[in-house]
């Protein structure tokens, strides 16, 4: 596996692959890799000849009170995992390679989709995500890119960006990779204490409870959200939101919506955990 640090190096290697008729897959990450990331790599390998994984902690998607400086940088360990996973190239650029003119004056912003769920309390976050992903797409020029469904809103925003800007990239959503007890794998899980780790799966359990309630006929979504949030708070979670949303627009769902996502974000001790479940209702179920 090659470890490259500059835009010029990546473009030259991808050009050589293209000349050889190879299909290029891409998995953007911020490093501190775990099995969840590797599941994205495996999905990318299923659809491509060569896989590129970027490792870049993007400053523009962190808010002023968020953990940019504390975000773990584990490049050597990350590269060892990627090498074992059969990745052809890791791209780990310095900040000045991605933001060569310093502060950006050009941004990619998907209106509305970034205003709900996590975006409601993190102004500018998704603008930072879409801007850096568009830069990475321009550098790597992949045929396909894989994103995890755990970050449901991010996946929706990226898909909209690609569709509306006519980017020639197939976006693949990979199923959330979970621990045996149901907790979604995340780099931030390492910040949980042993006691908090035993409670963390309750987030997914509450979302499954919501799915069962909706499938059984529950349509007062605001009341359902309040019950679940209160229950999570009773278990020690500091709840940012529990929302039943339209899975396409991400606006709070109404009784006539058939494609739903139940999404939640909550702090448990130090880390902020996110998770979701989707629900598809038949027209006769309304």
Residues in binding site for beta-alanine: 61
Annotated binding site for (R)-pantoate: 61, 154
- CA 285 – CA 186 distance, rounded (Å): 34
Residues 147 and 30 sit within 8 Å (Cβ to Cβ): no
- CA 60 – CA 104 distance, rounded (Å): 9
How many Cβ atoms are within 10 Å of 274's Cβ, its own excluded? 22
Cβ-proximal residues to 72 (8 Å cutoff; 6+ apart), any chain: 31, 32, 187, 190
Q: In angstroms, what CA-CA distances link 114 with 31, 90, 129?
A: 23, 29, 10
Q: Which residues pair with 49 in a beta bridge?
A: none
Structure tokens at 228: 């679940």
Closest CA relative to residue 209, chosen from 153, 148, 264: 264
Cβ-proximal residues to 83 (8 Å cutoff; 6+ apart), any chain: 1
| 3-class state of residue 163 by DSSP | helix
- CA 261 – CA 276 distance, rounded (Å): 7
From the list 37, 47, 206, 235, the catalytic residue is 37
DSSP letter assigned to residue 103? S
Residues 62 and 128 sit within 8 Å (Cβ to Cβ): yes
Active site residue 37: yes
Closest CA relative to residue 138, chosen from 248, 52, 276, 11: 11
- CA 187 – CA 185 distance, rounded (Å): 7
Catalytically active residues are: 37
């Amino acid at each position: 596996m090659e470890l490259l640090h500059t835009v010029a190096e990546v473009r030259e290697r991808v050009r050589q692959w293209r000349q050889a008729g190879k299909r290029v897959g891409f998995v953007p990450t911020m490093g501190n890799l775990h099995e969840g990331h590797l599941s994205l790599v495996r999905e990318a390998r299923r659809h491509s000849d060569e896989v590129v994984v970027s490792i870049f902690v993007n400053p523009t998607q962190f808010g002023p009170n968020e953990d940019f400086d504390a975000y773990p940088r584990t490049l050597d360990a990350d590269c060892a995992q990627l090498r074992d996973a059969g990745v052809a190239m890791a791209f780990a650029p310095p900040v000045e390679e991605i933001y060569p003119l310093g502060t950006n004056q050009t941004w990619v912003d998907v209106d509305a989709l970034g205003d709900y769920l996590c975006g409601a309390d993190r102004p500018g976050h998704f603008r930072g995500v879409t801007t850096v992903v568009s830069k990475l797409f321009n550098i790597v020029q992949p045929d396909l890119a894989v994103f995890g469904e755990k970050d449901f809103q991010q996946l929706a925003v990226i898909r909209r960006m690609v569709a509306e800007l006519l980017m020639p990239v197939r976006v693949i959503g990979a199923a959330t990779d979970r621990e045996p007890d149901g907790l979604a794998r995340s780099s931030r899980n390492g910040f949980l204490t042993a006691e908090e780790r035993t409670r963390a799966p309750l987030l997914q359990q509450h979302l499954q409870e919501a799915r069962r309630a909706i499938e059984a006929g529950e349509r007062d979504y605001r009341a359902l959200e309040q019950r679940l949030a209160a229950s999570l708070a009773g278990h020690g979670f500091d709840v940012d939101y529990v929302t039943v949303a339209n899975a396409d627009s991400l606006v709070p769902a109404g009784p006539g919506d058939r494609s739903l996502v139940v999404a939640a974000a909550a702090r448990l001790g130090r880390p902020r955990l996110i998770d979701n479940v989707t629900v598809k209702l038949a027209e006769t179920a309304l």
